[in-house]
Structure 1
Amino acid sequence: MQIIEYIDRDIAAIGVADALASGLKNALLIQDKVSLAVPGGTTPGPIFDVLCAADLDWDRVTIMLTDERWVPEDHERSNTALVKSRLMQGPAAKAQFLPFYRAGETAHEAAPVLSETVRAQMPLSMVVLGMGNDMHTASLFPGAKGLSQALHPDAPALCPIEASSQPDVRITLSAAALKGAMDKHLIIFGQDKRAALEDAMGRPPEEAPIAGVIQGGTIHWAA
């Protein structure tokens, strides 16, 4: 793994956005269409604000989430709302978006069809990840119902997850889908996250899911 350190989080937002834009441009040189999977949460917002202005062929980019809460787009906890309001703006508004939530279906009911849709995009061109202090990434939470399936090498591209620490059922890209991406980036801020990542590298994926997917990736860190 390569670790890139930034002097502060504002500089990190610019640096990470530049790295992602460069990676996407390189991918577009060799692929007609590319796929970009991004996280929700608070960390990526400032990065999206910069990345959306990148000069590249956004109409050849399909954006999806690494994971989504099983709530409608207008729900306050929807990751889709974040992506559409902060990443798919300006030049990036030309990108295609692959939604996961399907009204009238449960995550378990929708997962098989959604998995086939995602599988058509694999291997994913670029995956951007976050990580919690519990060493989860995407919605691969230690101890969650569905984690074993999502960590299995032959898992479908998308798996439903139920974590006792979370209020919503979620759907997540499986470890195999994340690990198999051509370009992987993990963004973490703070000394606690840095310590958690170092701890994770010595643990099995069942205890530290990030350890099962980040091999060969780039770590972006700022205090």
Structure 2
Amino acid sequence: MKFEKLNWPIGQPRTPKLSQKQARFNKDGKSITIAEAKRRLIREIELWTKSGQKWRIPHDSIIVTANWSVTEKGTVRSEKEPDDSGVAVYFELDGENYCLPCDQWNRAADNLAAIAAHLGAMRDQERWGVGTTKQSFQGYAALPPIAISPDEEWWQILKVSPNATLNEAKEAYRKLAKTNHPDVGGNRKDWDKIQKAWEIAQSQK
């Protein structure tokens, strides 16, 4: 498992900040910590695999993306709450890629705890024969998180200046869409990077 900067899945709507709520994923009357939320996630992931069998969710496939301060080794540096409390967890289950995002709550640790609880609920569906794994995860299928090279900045990908306004970035994004969108013969990987760069531009403006 490793932590990376928030990589919200494309096409997934965001919860407006004013609509986010205070969660009750507390422990002993105190707000849940990142460490506790991570522990809950690991526990739920491990419960998907029966003892002695091959991991259904390999630990090295798990990428927790959130805007916490992260070290070079991919661990959380501090408990300081980020401006964007959204969390998106990417992982592989039975050979398929999935992403569970959550931004319903006003603390990132609570959103991670919510994802852990959701994984547990989906496991119970399979356990009690309510549905298959694929049925439970329908709508959560995803490609691995889109990565932008550390040597690249959003403004370089959109081909604008570092001080470009949001309107200028938007105009550049639309211009690139005309020649890079897959519907007009563009490369899917290049287009995904352009979309990701546009998302980052919006979050920073």
Larger relative contact order (CA 8 Å, sep ≥ 6)? 1
Which TM-score band (shorter chain)? under 0.3
Structure index of larger Rg:
2
Q: Which structure shows the bigger proportion of residues in strand conformation? A: 1
TM-score after normalising by structure 2: 0.27
